Amino acid sequence: MPCDQWCRFLEMYRRAVNRYDEAANDLSLVLGSAFNQTWQRAEQARKHSENCRADLLHHEHDHGCLGGVGQPEVTIGVPNIDPEEFILGDQGQSGG
């Protein structure tokens, strides 16, 4: 079962990804020198989302609150989604 801290890390990651998405979408709205500032905001948001994801995965690894070898399968309240796929997104998929 995910612990409260894991859920907090997940929420921070979710918010960071949303901010990154918004910042990336803003890139199509600006031209000229404003584009460079918008690009920098998008890059900062990207780095922040990567850090939040790393924190989430680090906690999961250290704490083991989502299960592992010899532990029961855990669902996190999202139907038909493996917790690993939920966290890794497209980075967890094999090529093809």
- The domains of the chain are located at 4-92
pLDDT digits (tens, 9 = 90+) for 21-66: 999 999 999 988 899 999 999 999 999 999 999 999 999 888 888 7
Per-residue HEC secondary structure of the chain comes to CCCHHHHHHHHHHHHHHHHHHHHHHHHHHCCCHHHHHHHHHHHHHHHHHHHHHHHHHHHHHHHCCCCCCCCCCCCCCCCCCCHHHHHHHHHHCCCC
| Mean pLDDT, the chain, integer | 79
Q: To the nearest 10°, the Cα dihedral for 12, 14, 16, 22?
A: -150
- Give the model's pLDDT for residue 96: 45
* Mean pLDDT value of segment 69-95: 51
Residue % of the chain over a pLDDT of 70: 68
